[in-house]
């Protein structure tokens, strides 16, 4: 790679792997839809899957991922048969294709890690694919064999190198008869270039036959009228010579035969033409050429020379001659004809070429008049209708590095802060200036907000990418569990921040597993209670209230409350003989360490329960809840913020400190009456609001702030909703206003702080902490207090009321 | 003496590799994602060489070649087909559509430049 010193394949790998992931994900989606209705397969799906695998193979070959290419080739061959209708599309076949997709995925992963997979990881599927493929194309045996050869080609070093290595030392003279079809030029092939290339192989003697040249008036500018006989003395083989003509194989008659010393001279003599440099075959440089002219066309020599073919040729005779080594590398591109690749005698070769020429020949269809158009005119013409034929295809998307987008998001965040700061500072201005500035600030505020929304929108992605993995999961699990389950998804195009999309996969997977394992009955059980044998799981997403809502609903047996309660009591999570409402029982499944499965199956995971799901979702600023109707089914609802970059918050003041409470958590703010506040026996206080006792959290207590008002009836209580559906009351001095704040991670910039989810910078440049209300509750009431102790809190309250009465 | 080349492939990896190779050799490259997109980026401008993939969405390479050959501006522009299929039938399709020659993927950069030199004087 002499002149390409820095052609380093590694630089393309990242693109390739990214592309592979996209392609295979798309292929999988299409396979899933094929599986739903294999009998009515969309041809476009098959084509697209084929293209995906094909692209994976193409790129893989470039990086020498041999295993990957080998497997992709087998996979692709079956897909090709399928799209050509040679192999049937059945559920079993699609199952196999899905496995193949998995294997390919693993191979890509392995390639990315720079490893090879053990053969057993892919060989079985490969054998199955091949079996189907050969079954589909028994009559195409020969073609298959050829494909197999090709695999060797792609995976190993070019074996053909050996074949074409001309440096075998034995010099031979070859007679090459070359008669191009008149239309040769129309595919942009030039005899001149061919002759030049031929010259690089050895020393060349040339005859040109001009007898077919018409009178000048009948000349068509894009037709060829000449034919040639070359005598080439070279140590390269026949294949090297044929390679020169590979692109024109179907547009000419070509015979390459071995000749003998003196054949050239004898031909010159026999034809009675003039031969310059005759007999100087030995000459290494410079072209010897002969001109054969019959009586009639003698006058036309000039016009033949007027074409300048030979002049050109001679001008370039001192072109840098290609090294012999170059020739070897020319395998891998070549003949338009597979017949030549087989060992055939020159004579047979010619006939087969002739016959193929006839079948594929396309007659020039442009009328003679048009052909007289000069090349310059011809070139001008199309400029008049640019792209009109092509249609207005636009690039509908670009790929941008996530870092760049994040930087943009960050900068806009800073801008929002600056804007808020400016606005705040301007409020202290004399009234006459303030008036002038106000309009400007309002516009600025509006535009920054719009800018921020637009930038956030860049990061938004449809949840499709996560949803698309679920059908697969359902299919595999239902197979494993022996249940029949259909997954119905809706709202796949609902958009949410990329980070959120990525973090959705685990909770979703977990919940669907849960539904299938625990929620959905076996076929028999379903039939017994009069349900359809196939169960349905609905997975849906929608935007509601500035958040994304994701529902997972099944039509299974519902939560077995008796069993849940029994388990909870047995595990000591709930005190015995306490009445819980059905909803409260359902909520128990989110408690840490809770698992109703008698034994841990390999489906629902090991020991990781719904509590982890809840915690993960909570970490995203989301909430999860469950509702269940016995015998009818269970529905999980996840509610998540659309972005993790900004947050709508209520800025509150506690003495001189500012805290931001996420707006989504806030139910209302109240100033309670003194008599509604009750002290608990265990310490701590509750406030009585509309029939419910709510724990109070004194921020000044938690964060050790001096100078805050300690009497809730003189301060404000912000009621917030907790993860588990309970409430807490956060006591603050004042509410300063609602504001969109830019989230600055504490973990990244400092250390995690309990009770605080993140920080932000306010308009005045001061840092304010964003409260994690669930964390706060846990801190003040002990771990797991948010929901678990609801019942016991009530008990305590009852006790305390009796006490303080 | 740089050539102006249109490289068409739906795989960004391949486009990148073709473009990088050609640009390194001093050629100018414009890129198309598929046949349809290629026609629109081309917009009637003159190019010295077109290199296209076969299997592409929207408009495949063979259709693209036929379209181009039907337009006077590209009637005699050398067109190379990039193909992973090395068997005769596929190559013949390319040639029948009007391609000048073909290159088998994966190509090595030197090979690509050699073939380019072969069809572009």
pLDDT (tens digit per residue) in A126-160: 888 888 877 765 544 444 444 433 333 333 334 33
Select the residue of A55, A62, A189 nearest B100 (Cβ to Cβ). A189
Please enumerate in sequence order all residues whose Cβ is within 8 A of that of A610, keeping only pairs 6 or more positions apart, or say none: A510, A511, A514, A589, A590, A594
Closest-CA residue to B84 (of A69, A609, A740): A69
> Crossing angle for the helix pair B61-69 and B35-42, nearest 10 degrees?
30
Residue A719 has pLDDT above 70, yes or no: yes
SS3 A466: helix
pLDDT at res. A584: 80
Search chain A and give the residue with CA nearest B75: A186
Q: Do B17 and A222 touch (CB under 8 A)?
A: no
Q: Do B45 and A386 touch (CB under 8 A)?
A: yes
Residue A358 has pLDDT above 70, yes or no: no
With 0-12 / 13-18 / 19 or more C-beta atoms within 10 angstroms meaning exposed / middle / buried, residue A699 is buried
Q: Which residue has the higher pLDDT, A518 or B50?
A: B50
Instruction: Please state, in angstroms and rounded to a whole number, the distance separating the CA atoms of residues A180 and A186.
Output: 12
Alpha helices, DSSP H, located in A236-286: 238-244, 263-271
Closest-CA residue to A336 (of A193, A184, A140): A184
Average of per-residue pLDDT values in chain A: 73
On chain B, the residues whose CB falls within 8 A of the CB of A159 are: none
Search chain A and give the residue with CA nearest B45: A383
Please say which residue of A129, A157, A185 terminates a domain: A157
Region A697-716 average pLDDT: 85
Structure confidence at residue A724 as a pLDDT band (50, 70, 90): low
- B2 interfaces chain A, CB cutoff of 8 Å: no
Region B58-70 average pLDDT: 90
Pick among A55, A86, A149, A330 to test the B interface (most B CBs inside 10 A)? A55
Contact A282, A203 (CB under 8 A): yes
Q: Which residue has the tokens 């989810």?
A: A757
Q: What percent of chain A has pLDDT over 90?
A: 4
Residue A423 has pLDDT above 80, yes or no: no
CA distance B51 to chain A (A): 13
Q: Which residue has the higher pLDDT, A116 or A534?
A: A534
Residue A538 has pLDDT above 90, yes or no: yes
Whether residue A467 is found in the same domain as residue A455: no
On chain B, the residues whose CB falls within 8 A of the CB of A337 are: 88, 91-92
Domain of residue B40 covers 4-116
Q: Which residue has the higher pLDDT, A717 or A331?
A: A717
Search chain B and give the residue with CA nearest A365: B70
- B108 interfaces chain A, CB cutoff of 8 Å: yes
pLDDT at res. A652: 92
Q: Which residue has the higher pLDDT, A297 or B102?
A: B102
Please say which residue of A334, A359, A376 terminates a domain: A376
Structure confidence at residue A502 as a pLDDT band (50, 70, 90): confident
Instruction: Please state, in angstroms and rounded to a whole number, the distance separating the CA atoms of residues A494 and A498.
Output: 12
Whether residue A347 is found in the same domain as residue A420: no
On chain A, the residues whose CB falls within 8 A of the CB of B2 are: none
In a domain, A382, yes or no: no
In a domain, A383, yes or no: no
pLDDT at res. B86: 62
Residues 358-417 of A with CB under 8 A from B: 360, 362, 378-379, 381-387, 389-395, 399
Count of the separate structural domains present in chain B: 1
Closest-CA residue to A192 (of A116, A287, A259): A287
Select the residue of B38, B39, B110 nearest A1 (Cβ to Cβ). B110
Region A488-504 average pLDDT: 86
Whether residue A659 is found in the same domain as residue A547: no
Contact B61, B67 (CB under 8 A): no
Whether residue A450 is found in the same domain as residue A517: no
Structure confidence at residue B87 as a pLDDT band (50, 70, 90): low
CA distance A734 to chain B (A): 56
Whether residue A75 is found in the same domain as residue A184: no
Instruction: Please state, in angstroms and rounded to a whole number, the distance separating the CA atoms of residues A743 and A201.
Output: 70
Contact A12, A62 (CB under 8 A): yes
pLDDT (tens digit per residue) in A53-69: 988 888 888 888 888 88
CATH number at residue A113: 1.20.120.160
Whether residue A232 is found in the same domain as residue A355: yes
Torsion of CA A537, A538, A541, A547, to 10 degrees: -80
CATH number at residue B67: 3.40.50.2300
Count of the separate structural domains present in chain A: 5
Q: Which residue has the higher pLDDT, A37 or A512?
A: A512
**Residues in a beta bridge with A174:** A232, A258
- CB-CB neighbours of A726 under 10 Å: 21
On chain A, the residues whose CB falls within 8 A of the CB of B90 are: none
pLDDT (tens digit per residue) in A651-677: 999 988 899 998 878 889 998 888 888
Residue B17 has pLDDT above 90, yes or no: no
In a domain, A726, yes or no: yes
Q: Which residue has the higher pLDDT, A349 or A567?
A: A567
- Tell me the range of A162-166, A372-376, A506-510 where mean pLDDT is highest: A506-510
- Tell me the range of A8-12, A385-389, A457-461 where mean pLDDT is highest: A457-461
CATH number at residue A608: 3.30.565.10
Region A73-94 average pLDDT: 84
On chain B, the residues whose CB falls within 8 A of the CB of A329 are: 108, 110-111, 114
Q: What percent of chain A has pLDDT over 70?
A: 74
Q: Which two tokens stand for residue A620?
A: 């995203």
Whether residue A313 is found in the same domain as residue A348: yes
Q: Do A399 and B12 touch (CB under 8 A)?
A: yes
Distances (CA, A) of A30 to A107, A472, A766, B92: 20, 11, 52, 30
- Tell me the range of A153-162, A589-598, A615-624 where mean pLDDT is highest: A615-624
pLDDT at res. B1: 60
In a domain, A385, yes or no: no
Domain of residue A417 covers 402-461
Select the residue of B12, B33, B39 nearest A387 (Cβ to Cβ). B39
- A22 interfaces chain B, CB cutoff of 8 Å: no
Q: Do B67 and A336 touch (CB under 8 A)?
A: no
Provide DSSP, A503-546.
HHHHHHHHHHHHIIIIISPPHHHHHHTT--SSEEEEEEEEEETT
pLDDT at res. B118: 81
> Crossing angle for the helix pair A43-62 and A91-112, nearest 10 degrees?
20
- CB-CB neighbours of A526 under 10 Å: 20
- A668 interfaces chain B, CB cutoff of 8 Å: no
pLDDT (tens digit per residue) in A188-204: 777 888 888 888 888 88
Whole-model pTM: value is 0.45
ipTM comes to 0.83
User: How many degrees, rounded to 5, is the angle at CA A84 between CA A83 and CA A90?
Assistant: 55
Whether residue A476 is found in the same domain as residue A496: yes
Select the residue of B72, B84, B110 nearest A57 (Cβ to Cβ). B84
Structure confidence at residue A15 as a pLDDT band (50, 70, 90): confident
CA distance B99 to chain A (A): 6
Q: Do B12 and A391 touch (CB under 8 A)?
A: no
Structure confidence at residue A725 as a pLDDT band (50, 70, 90): low
In a domain, B121, yes or no: no
In a domain, B37, yes or no: yes
In a domain, B27, yes or no: yes
Q: Which residue has the higher pLDDT, A598 or A53?
A: A53
Residue A560 has pLDDT above 60, yes or no: yes
SS3 A654: strand
Instruction: Please state, in angstroms and rounded to a whole number, the distance separating the CA atoms of residues B31 and B35.
Output: 11
Whether residue A193 is found in the same domain as residue A96: no
Contact A680, A802 (CB under 8 A): no
pLDDT at res. B8: 94
- CB-CB neighbours of A301 under 10 Å: 14
pLDDT at res. B88: 66
Whether residue A426 is found in the same domain as residue A530: no
Please say which residue of A157, A173, A192 terminates a domain: A157
Residue A607 has pLDDT above 60, yes or no: no
pLDDT at res. A564: 84
SS3 A304: helix
pLDDT (tens digit per residue) in A427-461: 777 777 777 777 888 888 888 888 888 888 888 88
For the four alpha carbons of A623, A629, A630 and A636, in that order, the dihedral sign comes to negative
Instruction: Please state, in angstroms and rounded to a whole number, the distance separating the CA atoms of residues A673 and A255.
Output: 108
Residue A679 has pLDDT above 60, yes or no: yes
Least confident of A673-677, A760-764, B41-45: A760-764
Structure confidence at residue A729 as a pLDDT band (50, 70, 90): very high
Residue A218 has pLDDT above 90, yes or no: no
CA distance A215 to chain B (A): 24
Q: Do A19 and B77 touch (CB under 8 A)?
A: no
- A189 interfaces chain B, CB cutoff of 8 Å: yes
Region A300-310 average pLDDT: 33
Search chain A and give the residue with CA nearest B81: A333
Are β-strands A227-234 and A172-180 bridged in parallel, bridged antiparallel, or unpaired? antiparallel
pLDDT at res. A169: 59
Which H/E stretch holds residue A717? Answer: strand A716-721
Least confident of A349-363, A523-537, A678-692: A349-363
Which H/E stretch holds residue A144? Answer: helix A141-155
Instruction: Please state, in angstroms and rounded to a whole number, the distance separating the CA atoms of residues B116 and A247.
Output: 12
Are β-strands A767-771 and A756-761 bridged in parallel, bridged antiparallel, or unpaired? antiparallel
Whether residue A415 is found in the same domain as residue A529: no
Provide DSSP, A82-115.
HHTTSS---HHHHHHHHHHHHHHHHHHHHHHTT-
Whether residue A637 is found in the same domain as residue A653: no
């Amino acid at each position: 790679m002499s002149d390409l010193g820095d052609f380093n394949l590694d630089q393309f790998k990242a693109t390739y792997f990214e592309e592979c992931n996209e392609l295979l994900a798309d292929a999988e989606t299409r396979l899933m839809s094929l599986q739903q209705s294999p009998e009515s397969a969309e041809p476009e799906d098959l084509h697209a899957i084929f293209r995906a695998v094909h692209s994976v193979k193409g790129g893989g070959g470039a990086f020498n991922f041999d295993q990957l290419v080998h497997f992709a080739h087998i996979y692709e061959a079956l897909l090709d048969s399928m799209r050509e209708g040679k192999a049937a599309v059945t559920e079993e076949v699609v199952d196999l294709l899905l496995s193949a997709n998995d294997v390919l995925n693993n191979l890509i992963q392995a390639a990315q890690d720079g490893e090879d997979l053990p053969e057993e990881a892919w060989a079985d599927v490969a054998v199955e694919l091949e079996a189907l493929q050969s079954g589909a194309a028994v009559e195409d045996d020969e073609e298959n064999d050829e494909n197999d050869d090709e695999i060797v080609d792609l995976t190993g070093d070019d074996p053909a190198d050996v074949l074409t290595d001309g440096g075998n030392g034995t010099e031979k003279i070859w007679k090459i008869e070359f008669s191009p079809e008149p239309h040769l030029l129309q595919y942009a092939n030039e005899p001149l270039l061919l002759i030049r290339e031929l010259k690089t192989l050895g020393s060349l003697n040339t005859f040109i036959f001009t007898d077919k040249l018409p009178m000048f008036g009948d000349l068509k500018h894009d037709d060829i009228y000449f034919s040639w006989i070359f005598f080439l003395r070279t140590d390269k083989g026949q294949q090297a010579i044929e390679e020169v003509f590979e692109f024109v194989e179907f547009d000419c008659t070509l015979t390459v035969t071995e000749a003998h010393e003196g054949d050239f001279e004898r031909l010159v003599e026999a034809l009675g033409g003039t031969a310059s440099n005759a007999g100087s075959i030995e000459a290494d440089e410079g072209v010897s050429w002969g001109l054969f002219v019959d009586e009639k066309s003698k006058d036309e020599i000039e016009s033949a020379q007027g074409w300048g073919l030979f002049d050109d040729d001679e001008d370039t005779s001192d072109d840098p001659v290609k090294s012999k080594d170059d020739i070897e590398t020319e395998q891998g591109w070549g003949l338009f004809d597979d017949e030549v690749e087989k060992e055939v005698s020159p004579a047979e070769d010619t006939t087969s070429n002739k016959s193929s020429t006839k079948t594929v020949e396309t007659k020039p269809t442009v009328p003679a008049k048009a052909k007289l158009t000069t090349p310059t005119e011809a070139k001008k013409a199309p400029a008049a209708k640019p792209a009109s034929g092509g249609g207005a295809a636009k690039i509908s998307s670009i790929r941008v590095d996530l870092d760049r987008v994040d930087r943009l998001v960050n900068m806009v965040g800073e801008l929002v802060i600056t804007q808020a700061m400016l606005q705040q500072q301007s409020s202290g201005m004399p009234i006459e200036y303030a008036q002038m500035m106000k309009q400007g600030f309002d516009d600025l505020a509006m535009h920054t907000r719009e800018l921020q929304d637009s930038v956030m929108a860049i990061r938004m992605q449809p949840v499709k990418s996560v949803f698309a993995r679920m059908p697969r999961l359902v299919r595999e699990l239902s197979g494993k569990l022996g249940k029949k389950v259909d997954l119905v998804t809706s709202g796949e195009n609902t958009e949410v921040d990329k980070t959120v999309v990525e973090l959705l996969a685990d909770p979703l997977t977990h919940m669907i597993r849960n539904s299938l394992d625990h929620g959905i009955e076996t076929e028999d059980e379903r039939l017994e209670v009069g349900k359809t044998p196939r169960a349905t799981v609905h997975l849906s997403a929608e935007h509601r209230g500035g958040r994304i809502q994701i529902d997972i609903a099944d039509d299974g047996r519902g939560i077995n409350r008796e069993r849940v309660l029994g388990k909870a009591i047995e595990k000591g999570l709930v005190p015995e003989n306490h009445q819980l409402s059905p909803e409260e029982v359902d909520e128990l499944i989110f408690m840490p360490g809770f698992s109703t499965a008698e034994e841990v199956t390999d489906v629902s995971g090991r020991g990781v329960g719904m509590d982890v799901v809840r915690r993960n979702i909570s970490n995203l600023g989301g909430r999860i809840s469950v509702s269940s109707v016995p015998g009818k089914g269970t529905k999980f609802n996840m509610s998540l913020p659309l972005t993790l970059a900004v947050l709508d918050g209520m800025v509150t003041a506690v003495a001189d400190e500012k805290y931001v409470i996420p707006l989504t958590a806030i139910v209302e703010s109240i100033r309670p009456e003194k008599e509604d506040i009750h002290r608990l026996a265990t310490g701590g206080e509750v406030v009585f609001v509309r029939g419910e006792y709510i724990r109070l959290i004194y921020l000044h207590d938690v964060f050790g702030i001096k100078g805050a008002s300690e009497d809730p009836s003189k301060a404000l209580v912000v009621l917030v909703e907790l993860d588990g559906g309970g409430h807490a009351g956060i006591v603050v001095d004042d509410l300063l206003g609602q504001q969109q704040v830019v989230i600055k991670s504490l973990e990244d910039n400092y250390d995690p702080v309990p009770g605080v989810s993140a920080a932000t910078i306010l308009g005045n440049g001061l840092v304010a902490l964003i409260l994690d209300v669930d964390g706060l509750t846990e801190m003040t009431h002990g771990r797991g207090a948010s929901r678990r102790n609801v019942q016991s809190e009530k008990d305590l309250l009852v006790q305390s009321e009796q006490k303080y009465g | 003496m740089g050539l102006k080349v249109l490289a068409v492939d739906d795989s960004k990896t391949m486009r990148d590799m073709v473009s990088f190779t050609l640009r390194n050799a001093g050629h100018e490259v414009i890129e198309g994602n598929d046949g349809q997109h290629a026609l629109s980026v081309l917009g009637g401008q003159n190019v010295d060489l077109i290199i296209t993939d076969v299997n592409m969405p929207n408009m495949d390479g063979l259709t693209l070649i036929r379209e181009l050959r039907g337009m006077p501006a590209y009637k005699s522009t050398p067109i190379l087909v990039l193909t992973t299929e090395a068997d005769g039938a596929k190559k013949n399709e390319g040639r029948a559509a009007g391609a000048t020659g073909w290159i088998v993927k994966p190509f090595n950069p030197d090979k690509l430049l050699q073939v380019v030199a072969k069809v572009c004087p």
